[in-house]
Structure 1
Amino acid sequence: MSVKNNFRKLLLVSTSCAFFAACADTSISSPGNTNVGTPPGTGGGGGGGSQTTIDLIPAGGCGTGSVRETSVTNGDITINACEITGNITSNTTIAANAGVIITGPVFVGVDGGGSVTLEIGAGATLFGSAGSDYLVISRGSRLEAVGTSDAPVVFTSRQDIEGTAGPLDRGQWGGLIINGFAPINACIDGTATGGTAGCEKSGEGSSGLFGGDNPADDSGILRYVQVRYAGFLINNEDELNGIAFQGVGSGTEVDYVQVSNNADDGVEMFGGTVDVSHLVLTNIRDDSFDYTDGWIGRAQFVLVRQSGDDADQGFEFDNRGSNNTLLPRSNPRISNFTLIGERNAAESDQGMLLRAGTAGELYNGIVVDFGEDCLDIDDQETFDRIGASGAAGDEDIIMQSIVLDCTTNFDEEAGDTTDLSTWFLGQANNAEINNSMSGVFPGPIEQAVTAFDINALDNWFTDVDYIGAFSGSETDASNWAAGWTYNLFADPGCPTGTTESVEVINGQRICQITGNLTSDLRLTRGSMYELVGPVFVGVDRGPDPASPLPSGIEAELTIDPGVTIFGSAGSDYIVITRGSSIRSNGTATAPVTMTSRSDVEGTVGANDRGQWGGLIINGRAPINACIDGTATGGTTDCEKSGEGSSGLFGGATPTDDSGNIFYTRLLYAGFLINNEDELNGIAFQAVGSGTEVDYVQVHNNADDGVEMFGGAVDVSHLVLTGIRDDSFDYTDGWVGRAQFVIVSQSGDDADQGFEFDNRGSNNTLLPRSNPRISNFTLIGERGAAESDQGMLLRAGTAGELYNGIVVDFGEDCLDIDDQETFDRIGATGAAGDEDIIMQSIVLDCTTNFDESAGDTTDLSTWFLGQANNAEITHTMTGFAFIPGNTGVVPGATEQAVTAFDINALDSWFVDVDYIGAVEDANDTWYQGWTFRRTQ
């Protein structure tokens, strides 16, 4: 019998098979990405005497370089997996979703040798079988472990894979060690000076040398990474941490990392300058977060949750135990931490122990429920740090906006030269409390504490107005740690307002949304969401917010970071009615995705389009096309019915607010209802300027990517790829703004990059379309049968276009049609008038201008007479969204063009000194969160 389930889901959620080993005579495979969801089962199951095969090799193979396929058997369990072993001396890529055995100590690169990169794809799981199985990144080499919110990279034990790891097991394999060239203060050469190239140290577990004189050293990226069941005891003095950062520099990126069930410290910094953010440390046997040897990095959003069975300090912070005065002195800056012990347990020691001469700044903290005490400071050199000036940046101990509630809050010992409680409570906004915590989240007492403004002190830190790792508005189902972490939150199930489907896709629960939403709905991570028919958010409240329709109902749809929503047919779409709102709260590392069923099932084709409806937002901003022919444009009487039976839009409130759309990508939509009615990717129908739209992609839409039907909404960081019709379209009197727009067309089927109208049926209607657009890059596919015009302006539109690059369109770069549009060229040309203005724009297409008989203006003469416009032979290269396209990175030709100072004209725009949507190869705002077609 062969029963194929999903390895990623089984690894991360409870199963009736007690994980793997209890599923007899079974073949378990790993077909692809799933949402991380909730924690695994409690393990403990063993085989029933029949053979179980766990197949962890993805269909496309293990990857490239020093990774290979292998098969190992342990009793009645056989694991088919990829493997790394020995010394990796060439760049190696582990495929996404692969299962990889770490056999013995695996060293990436050779200390002092050439740089080697180990790249680990999202969803990959690496595991060891014993304490001698661990991974070391040598100085000068790099680890790029880049997971996602729904497919983290997991380092764990073989027992975890087999299903025999218990909830409090630890030390089942080695761990992860990263060596860098950043400064340390503990030198194996007693004559060396700390912080210099001569000051090196040998790492635990025979992990090699670390340390140097490069604080900006770059050892790679850890993003959405878990380390579980590690920390093997080599001897009483040498035990591996979950992650040991040994002389690691600030060029290394560490964000969204969890260490769980480690036998030694969860994370330990041995000197260096690396910064960390969104760190989760759970069930650690020794110290959860530890540093020594002169660490001077930063940390924000740190959660420690200890288990009472076996634990030491939440924070254990040293300079150097053998010599407290060594320099460079440990002096980190840490903000927004929550440390939670288990008050009545036999093993739940201290919350924070500072000793051995460390300095450090700690802000916005919550320390509760430790069985001994919340705060202890030891050693005279450490007390001397309390006695220093207390100014940020000095070698002092500073604590502000921190609250304590433990069995004893302070460890006051005979001989201490400072009264700890008096000092602590004398600092700004520190307090002893009776905590009101709800799990890991602050209650009303914690929320009432005045937070320290950490961002004003150091803009590396996220600007927050709360203490602790989480805000008071976050919940189990909706917070920065939800979805990608292990064994932290209970499964939230489907949110109220949705219905759980009997169907499961790739091992993931489906929650269905249908009909009319008449109350607020929040879509949280841990599930995928299926649209069943048209989903209307709210009931139309009419054109006038001051006098809403009695029958109207206001509702809000909130979509958390990392959530995926899909539709199966053209009748599946979302409509935000007038007076209601959408909050699509994606992030750069966890975008919101709206897509088709075939995409989530993995069967979508590279050129597929029109597989579901799309997103429609109706607002109360002015339009000029009124269904009542007697109404005046821009008034509350001027309303229009939207495509796809999406309801009325329009009004007289230019600042109308329909919510926000951040880091959101919409794929494979745009269903054709009939020859006249086809859904756009996103239709902004009379949407007002109070709506925030930033970092949005529409990919492979059957109709227009984004279309503005009047209104005044502004958009920024807009990416439109593979659109069949027009990529960016407006009509009906849009007067908003746009900056940083990328259009990348596919040659299989495409129309205009920009198609800009006032109103086709009456070019003179008011308010006239008159947007202001800057920093756009439009890319066609020159040799393709379908790659039409770059920019078509017609139907009486005005508009200001600045700082543009238009290349490789198969017909032409620029066309202007209709006399009323040509009249806009003939106007004064002053910003703010109803004119067409184009400045600092370059063209390179098969034909640059569509010069038609009867045109009343010579288009090329007019265009080339404007400031800094030119015909060029482009030098665009770099990142390409569509295979075969020119990249979006400007070359020397484009970079030499003088940019228009758009910020001086309008301060809404970001101040730039370049043309196009992308400045240069270092400008990567469009990467990571977007979809890129690779085949």
Structure 2
Amino acid sequence: MATIFTGCSNDDDEDGSGAKTPAVGEITGNISSNVTYAYGNYTLKGMVKIQSGVTVTFEPGCTITADKSTGENGLIVLNGGKLIANGTAAEPIVFTEKSKVPGSWAGIIMYGDAPIVNSASNPAPQTATSEDGTGSIYGGSNATHNGGSLKYVRVEYAGQVITTNSKEHNGFSFYSVGSGTVLENLVSYMGNDDGFEFYGGTVSAKNLISYGNKDDSFDWQDGWRGQDNTNWYAYQVGTGNYGMEIESKSVDNNFWPKIVGITLKRAAGTVTEAQSEIQLDAIQFKKEGNGDYSNIVIDGYKNQTGSTPWNGGAIQVLDKTTYDHQVAGGKIKLTNVKVTNTDNDFISGAATFTLSSSSFNPTSNWNKTTTATGASLVSGNWSTVNGVNLIQ
């Protein structure tokens, strides 16, 4: 059995007050049959896997707590499985960790078989091996893959990194997840790696908050191509790298993701994860990353001083190939952009090219303004931790 329960369901009312009595229990092992977790408090133990053909449902208000002292913990939705976690603004579903230390567990990992692109020469459908340490294969041709529905879900203190690039986790990791999956009003809070990472796929996401994550707030690769993304908000504090890191495994794609309504903010005094690396820009494009982004607010990406000074800026292009194919080729669109409290609009990652507003072709691919509003989010319990509203 994957679950052991004690306590009562939310239908019980032991004291006659009308308040729901939370269930309690442990979630562990492979989940091989459909199950609904009633409103309550649960312990997550081990790398729990929702098997193909299985639907797991959490009711609004559930709190699921991992404990790093028990080993590696996380919730994995395998391809063909479904996670239905539909909270509300008042009763979010919260996945957290007992010690409240960033990087203490693996977060939520979802697999699908939507298309990815990581090679210019291989025929579709392409596949790749995950970097979460499970050695799982992801990718396929099912653009409408459906991994379930996540609404008003918060993941706290995740982003466990065991071996860099071969066994590391984020708050939310979406491997070739398809457009049939619903992702709305999600929070990744105080993780040790990326807040949200998309490994290819066609899924879109609305109303995202990435707060205090130590690597990138938002990251993707493998030709992710979500087309209906709105209201992405990032606040970097203490330690953080890029607001958005955009790459496509060095494949010059003719498609791109689209995001409308982006706010990327960096608190004063925030430093990069590794002081020796230039990773303090709001948006970085590399390895043929591209996309269509509009209504963007960028604030606080200042130059870094100290033992290893670096220039900070709104937009960085790391390599000349990305500059030649994506910037000059008109595949990077940044329109209605408001930049404040930031030392440079543009940063070139190599001495072989100069990035400026005139680099974009046509000129309508870059438009700076003072009227952009960025992400538009409504605060509530879902966006509040320890009494602090995450929307700064």
- The residue aligned with 2:384 is 486
**What do the CA deviations read for 1:526-554 (whole angstroms, capped 9, x no partner)?**
xxxxxxxxxxxxxxxxxxxxxxxxxxxxx
Q: How far apart in 2 are the matches of 1:488 and 1:375? A: 33
- C-alpha displacement of 1:490: 4.5
Give matches, 1:110-259, under 5 Å: 110=52, 115-130=53-68, 132-159=72-99, 165=100, 169-186=101-118, 192-193=122-123, 195-196=124-125, 199-206=127-134, 208-237=136-165, 238-259=167-188
Q: Structure 1's 85 and 356: CA in aligned 2 closer, same or farther, altered over 3 A?
A: same
Matched, 1:352 2:289: no
What does the per-residue CA deviation read over 1:1-36, in whole Å, with 9 as the maximum and x for residues that have no partner? xxxxxxxxxxxxxxxxxxxxxxxxxxxxxxxxxxxx
For 1:484, give the aligned amino acid. W
- Residue 910 of structure 1 corresponds to which residue in structure 2? none
Q: CA deviation at 1:209?
A: 2.3
The 1:421/1:192 distance shift into structure 2, 3 A limit, reads: closer
Deviations 1:163-208 (A, max 9, x none): xx3xxx3012221100001011237xx9852x41x53433413162
Measured in 2, the distance between the counterparts of 1:326 and 1:92 equals 43
AA partner of residue 141 (structure 2): D
Aligned equivalent of 1:342: 267
Amino acid at match of 2:140: G
Distance 2:387 2:262 in 1: 18
CA deviation after TM superposition for structure 1 residue 125, in Å: 1.0
CA offsets per residue over residues 77-109 of structure 1, 9 Å max, x none? xxx94111111111111112x111111111100
Matched residues in 2 for 1:375 and 1:172: separation?
Answer: 31
1:101 equivalent to 2:43? Answer yes
- CA-based RMSD of the aligned residues comes to 2.7
1:300 to 221, 227, 230: 230
Structure 1 residues 304 and 57, CA, compared in 2 at 3 Å: closer, same or farther?
A: farther
Distance 2:299 2:386 in 1: 17
Q: Matches of 2:181 and 2:171 in 1, distance apart?
A: 17
CA distance in 1, matches of 2:255, 2:25: 40
Q: Secondary structure at the match of 1:411?
A: strand
**Which residue matches 2:27?**
84
Structure possessing the higher relative contact order (Cα contacts under 8 Å, 6 or more residues apart): 2
Q: Give the Cα separation in 2 of the matches to 1:228 and 1:158.
A: 10
Q: Tell me which residue corresponds to 1:325.
A: 251
Cα deviations across residues 703-750 of structure 1 (Å, max 9, x unaligned)?
A: xxxxxxxxxxxxxxxxxxxxxxxxxxxxxxxxxxxxxxxxxxxxxxxx
1:397 aligns with 2:332: yes
Contact 2:282 2:315 (8 Å CA) reproduced = yes
Q: Which amino acid aligns with 1:59?
A: C
Amino acid corresponding to residue 408 of structure 1 in structure 2: N
CA contact (8 A) 2:320 2:350 kept: no
8 Å CA contact 2:63–2:93 kept in 1: the answer is yes
State the TM-score, normalized to the length of structure 2: 0.83
1:289 is aligned to 2:218: yes
2:306 — aligned with what?
A: none
- CA deviation vs aligned residue, 1:812-868 (integer Å, no higher than 9, x gap): xxxxxxxxxxxxxxxxxxxxxxxxxxxxxxxxxxxxxxxxxxxxxxxxxxxxxxxxx
| Mapping 1:785-864, distance limit 5 Å | none
Letter of the structure 1 residue corresponding to residue 162 of structure 2: I
SS in structure 2 of the partner of residue 205 of structure 1 = coil
Q: For the Cα contact (< 8 Å) 1:138–1:208, is it kept in 2?
A: no
Q: CA deviation at 1:291?
A: 0.3
TM-score (norm 1): 0.36
Q: What is the rounded CA distance, in whole Å, between the counterparts of 1:208 and 1:61 in structure 2?
A: 36
- Give 1:368's aligned amino acid: D
The yes-or-no answer on 1:409 pairing with 2:358 is no
Equivalent AA in structure 2 for residue 407 of structure 1: D
Q: C-alpha distance in 2, partners of 1:414/1:296?
A: 27
| Pick aligned residue for 1:268 from 192, 197, 206 | 197
1:781-827, CA deviations, whole angstroms, 9 ceiling, x for partnerless residues?
xxxxxxxxxxxxxxxxxxxxxxxxxxxxxxxxxxxxxxxxxxxxxxx
Contact 1:203–1:209 (Cα < 8 Å) also in 2:
no
**Aligned equivalents of 2:95, 2:29: Cα separation in 1:** 18
Extract structure 1 runs of 4+ deviating beyond 2 A: 56-59, 190-193, 198-203, 342-348, 412-432, 486-491
* TM superposition shift of 1:403: 1.8
> Could you tell me which amino acid in structure 2 is paired with residue 482 of structure 1?
G
**Structure 2: 5+ residue stretches without partners:** 12-22, 273-278, 303-311
1:520 matched to which residue of 2? none
Is the deviation greater in 87-96 or in 231-240?
Answer: 231-240
In 2 relative to 1, CA 411–398 (structure 1 residues): closer, same or farther, beyond 3 Å?
A: same
More strand by percentage = 2
Q: Is the 8 A contact 1:154 1:225 kept in 2?
A: yes
Shift of 1:124: 0.7
**Matches of 2:43 and 2:196, distance apart in 1:** 22
- Secondary structure (helix, strand or coil) at the match of 1:484 reads helix
Residue 325 of structure 1: CA displacement? Answer: 2.0
CA distance in 2, matches of 1:255, 1:103: 26
Q: Which residue identity lines up with residue 100 of structure 1 in the other structure? A: Y
Deviation at 1:413, TM superposition (A): 4.8
Give CA-to-partner distance per residue, 1:391-445, whole Å, 9 cap, x none.
Answer: xxxxx1111101223122221355343533433694477227xxxxxxxxxxxxx
Q: Kindly tell me the number of residue pairs found equivalent between the two proteins.
A: 353
**2: distance between equivalents of 1:269 and 1:155?**
19
CA separation in 1, counterparts of 2:76 and 2:243?
25
Where in structure 2 are the equivalents of 1:635-650 lying within 5 Å?
none
Alpha carbons of structure 1 residues 186 and 381: separation in structure 2 relative to 1, 3 Å? same
Counting aligned pairs with the same residue, the percent is 28
Structure 1: unaligned runs, 5 residues or longer: 1-55, 63-79, 160-164, 391-395, 433-445, 450-465, 471-478, 492-935
Matches within 5 A, 1:680-699: none
Matches within 5 A, 1:586-601: none
The offset of 1:156, in angstroms, is: 0.6
Q: Where does residue 60 of structure 1 map in the other structure?
A: 9
Distance 1:361 1:211, change over 3 A: same
Cα offset, 1:488, TM superposition? 9.1
Q: CA deviation at 1:350?
A: 1.2
Report how far residue 58 of structure 1 moved.
Answer: 5.3
Return closer, same or farther for 1:207/1:283 CA change in 2, 3 Å cut-off: farther
SS at match of 2:382: coil
Letter in 2 for 1:350: D
Q: How has the CA–CA distance of structure 1 residues 414 and 252 changed in structure 2, closer, same or farther, with 3 Å as cutoff?
A: closer
1:420 corresponds in structure 2 to: 356
Matched AA of 2:368: A
What SS does the aligned partner of 2:201 have? coil
Secondary structure of 1:422's aligned partner: helix
Separation of aligned partners in 1, 2:66 and 2:201: 27
Q: Please give the per-residue CA displacement for 1:234-276, whole angstroms capped at 9, x wherever unaligned.
A: 1133321100000000000001001000111000000000000
Q: What is the alpha-carbon distance in structure 2 between the residues aligned to residue 208 and residue 429 of structure 1?
A: 39
Deviation at 1:290, TM superposition (A): 0.2
Partners of 2:152 and 2:32 in 1: CA distance:
25
The 1:109/1:203 distance shift into structure 2, 3 A limit, reads: farther
Match of 2:308 in 1: none
Q: Secondary structure at the match of 1:212?
A: coil
The change in CA–CA distance for 1:207 and 1:176 in structure 2 (over 3 A counts) is farther
State the alpha-carbon separation in 1 of the partners of residues 158 and 135 from structure 2: 15
